[in-house]
Amino acid sequence: MAPIETYLKQLNEPQREAVLENSRPLLMLAGAGSGKTRVITTKIAYAIEALKIPPYRILAVTFTNKAATEMKERVEALLPDNPDVKDCNIRTFHSFGAWLLRRFGSEIGLENNFTIYDDADSLSLLASIYPSYKKRELEPVMKRISYAKDRMLSPGEAMKGFQADLLFKQMYERYEEKLRAVGNLDFADLIGRSIELLRDAPHVRQWVHSRFEMIMVDEYQDSNTAQFLLLKLLVGPETFVGVVGDDDQSIYRFRGAEVKNILTFASSFPKARTIKLEQNYRSTTQILDVANSIISKNADRHDKNLWSARKGGRKPKLFYVHDEEDEARRIVTLLREDHNYNGSAVLYRTNAQSVPFETTFKRYGIPYKVVGALQFYEREEVKDALALLYLLTNPKDEVSFRRIINKPARGIGPGSVDKIIGFAPQTDGDLLRAAALAVKNRMLSPKAAQGAELAIRLIDEGRKLIVDGNLVDGVTFLIRESGLYEHYQEQDYLNTTAKVGNLEALVNALSAYESSFDGLVAFLEQLTLDRTTLGTDDPRDKDGVTLITMHNTKGLEFDRVFVTGLEEGLFPGRQNEGDEDIQEERRIFYVAVTRARNELYLFSSRVRKIWGRTTFQHPSRFIADIDPALIRVEGSPSFGGYNSFTRRESSGWGSSGSSMIRQGFGPDAKQFEVRHEQQGDAPLFPVGQKVYSDAYGEGEVVALRGEGEREVIDVVFATGKKASYLSRFAALDRIGGE
């Protein structure tokens, strides 16, 4: 075995100092790519080998089982001849809590055989208290209860903090009473009840202080209020405590992470020493200069400056592109330079942004994998909206009928659905007509009948809009007036998800098709034929370009990174306007940039589709954070001839009675249609021009009628499909030059 001195010599000077500092509380500020895992594992090995601390008296805490396992394996690899090294307590916060409560839980009335409820179990317990509610209705409530527990908020405090109502307070109280009555714990209780134990049982607290001589915490910037309070109670007068983290990479506030824990470490643990790990082993100097330029604009942070011994490499580049499709095509061009698909990653703020990349990559044969989420068309909210469309085009589709007829709830329970389907033989399988017949024959309860009539009218009105040539308006109408929009908007608010954004992305995908009933059929047909799009192939099982949200890149690195969607309203998002919000969003940008080893490309679109309408975009304020000398710029954020604005409003329909557009974007939203630029008197699409349609593939212009703004073209596609387009608004790409 190599002596521990050998491992110390492999460290840089600040890393070595961090390993050797064991006399006072220690904050190790470990910048991106600075080798923090090597430092923390070497420090544990040094404590065992040089300081002679018995492994069982060392506690190292991290946030995931994967990270804990990796840390344990690396410590054991450093000390292969020490059989006792396996006695190190390297755990997650929650597994440590379970270990402590199994041992001493009787001190606060817990049996040591308590069951730990997972999320599903907790939800079932809440549902047993409120049997009149469906589980999906209680799911957001359960998440809010967990959120409150992570912040050590009682029902009364949570109600105040969330601006919640008395019903939530009551549900929280009754859930806690029931949980205590059955003698079990939920996941959050593993921390909260451990805090209760250490506060209320001084002899247990003293035992912990004498048991653990060294306590280390990894990824400390991700700790929440409860975890901080637990750590404070675990550390005794003689306990060495060291934490490793990077406030610049604190990006999980929506999960409860408190960046102030790492910012105030010195005041929480007096006489603490701070050591900065600033040498980056991942990225080139040019990439780090951009990263430092970005994050330096945050006020609430520890001052640090990442540097690298890796010189050279390509200068980071910023592209101002026309729209999301242009964005995707530019990336395809760059990827084709060296075909390093496995080493490349496309980063975006929300999962819904993957759609243009998935579509374009398929078209050009670029292999890819979507990480951290279901493929787009397998997401619940998207499948719900698609069920509406499948039922509209085929009223005999029983699967789609069952999925959507009572979602959101319209009072049409399983029994009512079966009664409706029982009339199908009398309507030649048409389930909408069967529903009308069931209503006419008074086979449904008044509530179910009302819900069925609403659904029938909804789909009829949506079909009329689409048949009249308003595909986007018709589908938007169906999503909004069916209640899906409001249903998932509420889920987004409660659960910090982006389901409404995925519904919007679906409408955007549809906008590339002919605005007709045939266009809708073509879109649905393509989904059926393209099994990859439908998600029957798991993209994670294959090689290719990684498509991933910025949040999910934490801890990852790639040879080449494309950071996309750098526009106001998208990144930072419309909902993130507070100072803390902006600082967190800037940290997310910093994390995204520091994933790149060799090449970094940034993209900002001039226009972007919002609910199928092309909207004017402003470059993200974060672009202005970058010193212009550090990047190459291609294109311009100016908008040239794209100045033909129209305001679109639709009359309300159904129960909401509000404008479809206004509900999504506010009363003053400005929108405009993308127009193909005309050069002099030449036709935009001359006869013989080869074109490409996302809906129908390659085709050729065979006839031209009118001129100027009224120019209409007829296109015959290789599939045999014929279509006519108003040239200025045609969703067609020219093949063979502009």
- Tokens 């939530």 belong to 168
Rounded Cα distance between 713 and 728, Å, is: 10
Indicate which residue of 16, 36, 38, 480 is catalytic.
Answer: 36
Burial environment of residue 350 by CB neighbours within 10 A (0 to 12, 13 to 18, 19 or more): buried
Contact between 319 and 601 (Cβ < 8 Å) = yes
219 is catalytic: yes
Residue 733, CA atoms < 13 Å, CB-side half-sphere: 16
Share of the chain residues as helix, strand and coil, in percent rounded to the nearest 5: 50, 15, 35
Rounded Cα distance between 376 and 353, Å, is: 10
Indicate which residue of 49, 218, 246, 567 is catalytic.
Answer: 218
Indicate which residue of 139, 196, 213, 219 is catalytic.
Answer: 219
> Among 650, 568, 572, 577, which Cα is nearest to 615's?
568
CB atoms within 10 A of CB 142: 22
678 is catalytic: no
Burial environment of residue 657 by CB neighbours within 10 A (0 to 12, 13 to 18, 19 or more): exposed
What does residue 683 show for φ and ψ, rounded to 5 degrees? -65, 150
CB atoms within 10 A of CB 176: 16
Contact between 475 and 510 (Cβ < 8 Å) = yes
Rounded Cα distance between 562 and 477, Å, is: 35
Contact between 342 and 626 (Cβ < 8 Å) = no
- Strands (DSSP E) contained in 56-168 are 58-62, 89-92, 116-117
Q: 434: which 2 tokens? A: 């069967």
Q: 281: which 2 tokens? A: 């082993």
Helix residue spans in 201-353 (DSSP H): 202-211, 225-234, 260-263, 265-268, 285-295, 324-335
Indicate which residue of 595, 597, 608, 613 is catalytic.
Answer: 595
Could you write out the DSSP letters of every residue in 442-474?
T-S-HHHHHHHHHHHHHHHHHHHHHHTT-HHHH
Rounded Cα distance between 244 and 236, Å, is: 19
Indicate which residue of 249, 286, 359, 476 is catalytic.
Answer: 249
- Tokens 């000398």 belong to 629
- Tokens 């520091």 belong to 594
Strand-pair category, 26-30 with 273-277: parallel
Contact between 607 and 674 (Cβ < 8 Å) = yes
CA distances from 164 to 138, 156, 170, 253, 382 (A): 15, 10, 11, 19, 29
Give 316's DSSP letter. Answer: P
Rounded Cα distance between 315 and 7, Å, is: 35
CB neighbours of 150 closer than 8 A, spacing ≥ 6?
188, 191, 224, 225, 226, 256
* 280 DSSP β-pair partners: 308
595 is catalytic: yes
Indicate which residue of 17, 21, 37, 260 is catalytic.
Answer: 37
CB atoms within 10 A of CB 511: 19
Q: 82: which 2 tokens? A: 């020490």
410 is catalytic: no
Burial environment of residue 17 by CB neighbours within 10 A (0 to 12, 13 to 18, 19 or more): middle
| Residues recognised as catalytic | 36-37, 218-219, 249, 595
